[in-house]
């Protein structure tokens, strides 16, 4: 690959997050975590020390070169992220598909399956990406924005919101549909630095940018 991240400390999140409904049911999303896993492997190959916070993915990453910490629930990811941010980190790549809502009052027991209707009240979860620069203002932060149909125009719009919201250094605006993967990398000037039509190309483009900026 030719890019160097030698001895850089990089924290990556990936995969879906669960929020509980009751003692046995959860709300989740369809994130595979594959892009975050690919970035983790490429960062290690470039010489970085990588910690991966990995959600409940169908195919967990196995690598002796990567420190992998598992989570399932939103609260677990929140705790792990705060724990790891206490350490010196050169970059945070926040690729996890974090749950945007959680049940206002989770049910501690198993809800009966005999109900004909079920009403649940959800509230917004805290935006975890916002805490990263508060804890580490000088850490290079990569945020992700998913859209069902990303275009160059919508990528600029989505990225602008995330730059304002979390003080990201780079934003990856992407989509994953039945038609495949597509994404754009944008910098703080909201300029498109790279584009890719698959995860591996996106990962390599991101590692290139990291090697130039760290």
What does CATH list as the number for 9-213? 3.40.50.10300
1, pLDDT greater than 70: no
Distance CA 28, CA 74 (A): 10
Distance CA 24, CA 53 (A): 23
Phi-psi label, residue 31: left if phi above 0, alpha if psi -120 to 50, beta otherwise = beta
As given in the structure block, the two tokens for residue 212 are 């130039």
**Farthest CA pair distance, the chain:** 59
Q: DSSP letters of 136-191?
A: -TTSEEEEEEE-SS--HHHHHHHHHHHHHHH--SEEEEEEEETTEEEEEEEETT--
As given in the structure block, the two tokens for residue 32 are 């595979």
Distance CA 155, CA 190 (A): 9
Distance CA 95, CA 10 (A): 13
Residue 5 C-beta-side C-alpha neighbours within 13 Å: 30
Question: Each residue of 128-173: pLDDT tens digit?
Answer: 999 999 999 999 999 999 887 888 888 898 888 899 999 999 999 9
| Strands ordered across the beta sheet of 67-70 | 67-70, 49-54, 9-14, 91-94, 140-146, 170-177, 180-187, 192-196
Which whole-number Å values give the CA distances from 199 to 25, 33, 67, 70, in the listed order? 31, 11, 21, 22
Beta-ladder partners of 140: 91
Global pTM value:
0.93
Percentage of the chain with pLDDT > 70? 98
The pLDDT value given to residue 157: 86
Average pLDDT of every residue of the chain: 93
Question: Each residue of 5-17: pLDDT tens digit?
Answer: 999 999 999 999 9
Place of tokens 């190309």: 201
Q: What average pLDDT does range 15-36 have in this prediction?
A: 93
The pLDDT value given to residue 154: 83
178, pLDDT greater than 70: no
């Amino acid at each position: 690959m030719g890019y160097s991240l030698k001895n850089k400390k990089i924290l990556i999140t990936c995969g879906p997050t669960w929020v509980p409904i009751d003692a046995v049911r959860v709300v989740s999303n369809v994130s595979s975590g594959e892009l975050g896993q690919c970035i983790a492997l490429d960062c290690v190959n470039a010489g970085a020390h990588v910690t991966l916070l990995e959600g409940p993915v169908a195919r967990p990453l196995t690598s002796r070169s990567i420190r992998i910490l598992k989570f399932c629930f939103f609260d677990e990811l929140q705790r792990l992220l705060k724990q790891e941010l206490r350490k010196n980190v050169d970059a945070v790549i926040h690729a996890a598909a974090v749950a945007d809502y959680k049940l206002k009052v989770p049910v501690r027991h198993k809800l009966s399956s005999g109900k004909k209707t079920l009403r649940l009240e959800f509230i917004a979860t805290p935006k975890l990406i916002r805490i990263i620069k508060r804890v580490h203002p000088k850490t290079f932060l990569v945020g992700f924005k998913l859209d069902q149909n990303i275009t160059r125009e919508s990528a600029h719009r989505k990225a602008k919101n995330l730059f304002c919201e979390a003080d990201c250094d780079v934003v990856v605006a992407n989509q994953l549909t039945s038609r495949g993967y597509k994404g754009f990398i944008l910098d703080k000037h909201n300029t498109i630095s790279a584009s890719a039509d698959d995860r591996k190309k996106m990962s390599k483009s991101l590692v290139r940018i990291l090697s130039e900026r760290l």
